[in-house]
Amino acid sequence: MPSKTLTDRFVASDADAGSYFDTTVTGLVLRVRPSGKYWAFVYRVNGRSPQWMKLGSYPALTLVAARAKAKALRLIVDDQRDPIAERKAAEEAAKIPPPPVAPVLTVRTYAKSFVTFQKGRKKTWDKDEQMIAKHLLPAWGDLPLASITRTMVADRITEIVATGITVGVNRVQTLMSRFFVVAMSQGLIEANPAARHIKRFKETARTRTLAETEIRALYAALQDRPSEAADVVWLRLLLGQRGEETAGMLWRELDLTARTWYLDGLRTKNGQPHLLWLPDQALAILTRRQAAAMGDARVFASLKDVHCNTDDEIALYAVARMFPDFEWRDLRRTFSTGLGDLGFDDGVIDRLLNHKAATVGRRHYNHAKYLPEKQVALAAWDREIARILANEPKTSRVLTMLTR
């Protein structure tokens, strides 16, 4: 087989049939056949017999392009690799379908797993779920979770503020940060875009309590629209307990004969059990409810909580809005302030409110032992409410103390 320094003129000429080895690039061969001309690359690997590899037909593949291909193949051969074997392996690999592309994790999809995560760790997880549905999903629901940036978080907070929400936006910011912290801890994102955003509103402790005229107006409105929600609202003022705890009251927690309501730690915000005595007005409401009970475990079976989830609750909220700057928690604050005005000390009030105690002794106090002092306070507050409803003048502050 002749060797020849191939040129464009020779390649284009009517050369005799045969194989012409290029002296410029080792392994490049021009093969001339009656049917036409084509380029090949011949090589040996690991002492095996020569291997012929077709590069392409002439003139589609020019001399310059053929030499470039041959040089690249020569580098492979010099590295003791077999270009034909590698090409076959590549062709076989191309026949294998690619693995399915993992679906992009959206904010909406992640939100479901986040709420599940919160359920096992936070009693008010349903409030988080509501905030996510209201403030996060409309704007970000279909976006990839990893695409949310600090700028997007800041813009979203600004949009929420523009709707008229003030200190409530601070709760949304806290939830956002928790939302992304959990995602980051699970390896779903690299950084928390909601971290270290300055709170938009300064928060101060509320001191709002209902005046006597407002208590009478609220009672009249509740009497005009009797319902489970109305009873819950009035019980909150009489007993001073949290909305979710009162609305979720269970019959098994009540002993109407002994006039007690016992909440185990699973039902209280701070996880501490709580025992209360039932004063006259509260007992009357629950006795009436018991007579109408239909076998449901819950005393107020139609209510989820007292935050406007039913038509009755929405109507009650409209009633409450008659008072300036009113919040449902003002009922609990009116209760505690009223007891203070009657002369009860903070220790008694804290036990009635089931505030978490700071000392070990207080955390494990005997509930039955302190029931009498709670009874005195609740009875006094019940009489005070009755006085207010009757619009009678307030007497001088008198407090009967129990010795322990």
Query: When comparing pLDDT for 376 and 396, which is higher?
Result: 376
Exposed e or buried b per residue across 304-342, where buried means at least 16 C-beta atoms within 10 angstroms of its C-beta: ebbeeebebbebbbebbeebeebebebbbbbbbbbbeee
Q: What integer is the mean pLDDT of 129-145?
A: 95
For helices 168-185 and 150-162, angle between their N-to-C axes, nearest 10 degrees? 160
Residue 195 lies in a domain: no
Give how many domains the chain has, as a whole number: 3
Domain identity same for 233 and 319? yes
Nearest to 327 by CA among 242, 220, 231: 242
Query: When comparing pLDDT for 121 and 223, which is higher?
Result: 223
Q: Lowest-pLDDT range, 193-197, 219-223, 393-397? A: 393-397
- The residue range of the domain holding 8 is 3-95
The sheet with strand 51-58 has its strands ordered as: 3-4, 18-22, 28-33, 36-43, 51-58
Whole-model pTM: value is: 0.55
Residues with Cβ within 8 Å of residue 309, at least 6 apart in sequence? 303
Q: What integer is the mean pLDDT of 146-166?
A: 92
Residue 242 lies in a domain: yes
The gap from C-alpha 326 to its chain's centroid, in whole angstroms, comes to 28
Q: Are 177 and 195 in contact (CB under 8 A)?
A: yes
Residue 218 vs residues 22, 122, 382: alpha-carbon distances, Å: 105, 32, 16
The gap from C-alpha 403 to its chain's centroid, in whole angstroms, comes to 49
Angle CA(189)–CA(193)–CA(194) in degrees, nearest 5? Answer: 125
Query: When comparing pLDDT for 204 and 242, which is higher?
Result: 242
Query: When comparing pLDDT for 348 and 312, which is higher?
Result: 348
Domain identity same for 126 and 83? no
Residue ending a domain, among 185, 220, 235, is 185
